[in-house]
A and B are shown apart, each in its own frame.
Chain A
């Protein structure tokens, strides 16, 4: 069965600092992995996806994620945090029934 674990329910970084949000997955099939962002009282917006092509995936708003099969990880990074990045971030993996299994989310806090 597929599952997703996001380490850290809250991550706080200073503006301009590196953002690192961690996601580990388990999957019995070759994984398709996704990162979504959710701003307060909004739906979820797709940031980026891994679908078995390049292991380093670039997304919107300067975010990228690297798929590491040996570590079963798909961590999300951004070199320099901006105040507008403050939001909740969700990692998801596609399961064998083509549904998305979601992590519990990580709230990113940006300190001025």
Chain B
């Protein structure tokens, strides 16, 4: 297992365009988390899945954001009608159950909206 993979590593998009990011967690991890991180800040929780069920969404996750984990394996995060304020690093993490043992993070997708 190569850990948590995120694709793409970098994405530059024009304001108003839609973008989609993918996360492949560690295969035996049933929990998957999405975070957003802006420069000089810690990660901000967006949402998490247990298997295919989305169990919690942050109020930060506006209607333009949607996340799926259709088969309980990989997950996608889509941002519609991107805004400049969406520019950030989007981090995915997975864990084997609840966070007692910490998360394993991917390398992130850096989004730049121009």
Contacts and interface: CB of A to CB of B under 8 A. Distances in A.
A54 to B, nearest CB: 15
A43 B102 CA distance: 14
17 contacts: A32-B99, A42-B107, A43-B6, A43-B107, A43-B108, A49-B101, A51-B100, A90-B43, A97-B56, A98-B98, A99-B99, A100-B99, A100-B103, A103-B42, A104-B40, A104-B42, A105-B40
A17 interface: no
Contacts of A105: 40-42
Interface of B: 4, 6, 40-45, 48, 56, 91, 93, 98-108, 110
Contacts of B101: 49, 51
A105 B89 CA distance: 15
